[in-house]
Chain A
Amino acid sequence: MINILFFGRLGDFAKGVPSTIQANTPQEIRDLLAVDFPALAKELSEPQVLVSVNQMIVGWDQQLMDGSEVAFLPPVTGG
């Protein structure tokens, strides 16, 4: 299973989303989420949203391993 995390405003759209999912790529996670959470999937499709796997920024086609931590990151606003 893949652990999934949503940060910033994406967290507001991810209420009720399970914390784990079965998928091979972040893209596939997004597609799966689109079924039950279309508003979230739309947010995830914004070009500014980045995805990380095990805390490294990766492409949406990155192959996932069982136990991977996938996080969806909207543009950061620290400082």
Chain B
Amino acid sequence: MKTIRIQTDDFDLAQEYQLLRQLSSTVGAVVTFTGLVRDFQDDGEGECALDGALDGAIEGAIESLSLEHYPGMTETLLAEIVEQAHERWSLIGSTVIHRVGKLLPTDQIVFVGVASQHRGDAFEAAQFLMDYLKTKATFWKKVSQDGEHSWVESKDSDAAAASRWDKGLLLGDAEGSLLGDAEGSLSKNAEGSLLGDAEGSLLKDAEGSLSKNAEGSLLSDAEGSDHA
């Protein structure tokens, strides 16, 4: 099952979880992620600047957030991302829900849920889906307050998070993914990453991620034990 929904309405976390849980008696793990609209004021000054949302023009608590997207293209891009997740990990089902339109602080904005036999697949696929969704799907956030608005700017940290998955360094799916995946993902990304500086991020991040994964991958260890 692959469910993708773009909607103005809210979603029910419990219901989405149940749908994934009940997909099959072979489901052994369900990982869900829910993203909420944050009040940027809570971040303090530094984070405000990091978010780049406020352009100096709007300070303090946000009154509302609106989400614009490119109808048609967004669905296509999300379907591609979900397809990649199902190719890379052994998944029984996945759900991606993204809200658009006007939202308020504490509102739910995005849901990613993944069902699989084993937790490693579900954890990784959920993280991959979120990382890719944030950097590749055609959504744009606008913050409004007192009749003024400002567009949220993309973050280098999101680009770096997404680029980890481009290098085939994934825990657990070493077979084939290291070589098989690297070329396609890299070239696809260079052409088609909506973040613009994909090439820079890929290079910048490569070394750090390599060593990090090589040294201390808890998940690949865990999965090894499962099989053993």
Q: Give A contacts to B, CB under 8 Å.
A: 5, 7-9, 11-12, 47-50, 52, 55, 57, 71, 73-79
Contact = CB atoms under 8 A, between A and B. Distances in A.
Given A78-B67, A78-B69, A78-B133, A73 B194 contact: yes
B136 interface: yes
Interface residues of B, number: 33
Nearest to B35: A79
A interface, by DSSP: helix, strand, loop or mixed? loop
Contacts, number: 82
Contacts of A75: 153-154, 194-196
Which has the most chain A C-beta neighbours within 10 Å: B135, B152, B153, B196?
B196
Interface in B167-212: 191-192, 194-197
B141 interface: yes
Contacts of B153: 75, 77
B70 A55 contact: yes
A48 to B, nearest CB: 3
A52 B72 CA distance: 12
Given A8-B140, A9-B151, A71-B70, A76 B195 contact: yes
Nearest to A57: B192
A47 B72 contact: no
A22 to B, nearest CB: 23
A48 B73 contact: no
B41 interface: no
Contacts of B195: 48, 75-76
A55 B76 contact: yes
